[in-house]
Structure 1
């Protein structure tokens, strides 16, 4: 199988831009994602957004048929966000093409990663950041399920729940250090000492002793991060969380 090149990606994006300019149902087009900031690398996908006047479903169906016919798309999926539908296409060369079909009234930047190519954009509210208290609450909830999974001898479930606990902790770290906190996008920007401490919450096997070791590390990290957000809450959670560790 041939894997896409940056040139393949650029040529496809150029063809989509040209098609959008010729479609009178489209009120504006923008490059989004890393491409908006000219930050693409070898593995970047295509992120493209269209403002739609009138029937979005008709435009979406038309563009989908075009991508299958002209660009050999093998599959697609939809991710709704606010009033937009992000249709995510997979090409046989493994290139991912994300096209946001957005009603014209809501077509605009929700983050710095939006570069208008033509047409009109309207000011949009930014997406909310993850709430630190919510992450703490999810952390202790995952911890309860790690404990019960270990005690029931369900190693895979315990590892799954540990992943949820660990991700809550890492999200709290991102929030504390002011880096992007959604979908792991800012993890590479965290200080090395922060991410190094989280390594202890990874498991190397499903053996009982190893699961319990990673669980202890995850709980201690959760309490440390909670203390940065709300020391009183961290103190309240300390006794029951540590009691889970046996």
Structure 2
């Protein structure tokens, strides 16, 4: 595992290279390294403002990271118009490197620290939509139930776990905690997280899957009622009747 000194040296080398690159007109740290909440395990999230063609700049930096740091793998997150390229370096050192057009270089949330360049005023990332989360919950419940009828137990477990993820997102949204990737789950009160433990599938049998599905749908109905009582009055009876069918 990487050390803090190794991560610090990587960050310094990245910024030095960015300063020398004529195509790079700005750089900023995002994520936990941009705030005081970073710790010994935090990865490096760096945004580069690019003047000109993003693809050629990203390709050039990608080759440099393989040559200079012996990168082991990389892959891209979809984020038009930017390119977010995620690198795995030696010692499990992760680098999330965003190549953004200079007109799209700026914070969309509180985790942003400009190193150099002129950041733009951009619209913040939208919060998750209650209606969409409600739709995902009823959709996943229906398909989990169908999988149980078909005796597709692994697929049923997939849908049950996905419902739990959306319940956590709804709770985090309601309590103003971070919603992406369950980043706010550890901030939820015990009265929310303790019942969630009952939704975990302990063994891949049909009775256990039915039990876990019933448990997670019960918790989902509570969060739906808090988010939109009128919508819940229509959806919750259908969800409960499906489970008893």
| TM-score bracket relative to the smaller structure | over 0.9
SS of the equivalent of 2:90 reads coil
Q: Deviations over 1:210-246 (max 9, x none)?
A: 1111111111111111111221221212222112222
Give structure 2 stretches of 5+ with no counterpart: none
**After the TM superposition, which residues 170-189 of structure 1 pair with which residues of structure 2 at under 5 Å, given as runs?**
170-189=168-187
**After the TM superposition, which residues 196-211 of structure 1 pair with which residues of structure 2 at under 5 Å, given as runs?**
196-211=194-209
Worse-matched range after superposition: 227-236 or 45-54: 227-236
**After the TM superposition, which residues 148-227 of structure 1 pair with which residues of structure 2 at under 5 Å, given as runs?**
148-227=146-225
SS of the equivalent of 1:51 reads strand
Given candidates 63, 66, 69, the residue that maps to 1:65 is: 63
Give structure 1 stretches of 5+ with no counterpart: none
Give the Cα separation in 2 of the matches to 1:80 and 1:158.
28
1:10 Cα deviation from its structure 2 partner? 0.8
Given candidates 220, 227, 230, the residue that maps to 1:229 is: 227
Give the Cα separation in 2 of the matches to 1:111 and 1:238.
34
SS of the equivalent of 1:93 reads helix
Give the Cα separation in 2 of the matches to 1:226 and 1:115.
36
Aligned alpha-carbon RMSD (Å): 1.1
Give the Cα separation in 1 of the matches to 2:164 and 2:156.
12
1:171 Cα deviation from its structure 2 partner? 0.9
Q: Does 1:95 align with 2:58?
A: no
Give the Cα separation in 2 of the matches to 1:239 and 1:129.
27
Q: What is the total number of aligned residue pairs between the two structures?
A: 244
Q: Deviations over 1:130-153 (max 9, x none)?
A: 101110111011000111111211
- Relative to the length of structure 2, the TM-score reads 0.96
1:75 Cα deviation from its structure 2 partner? 0.9
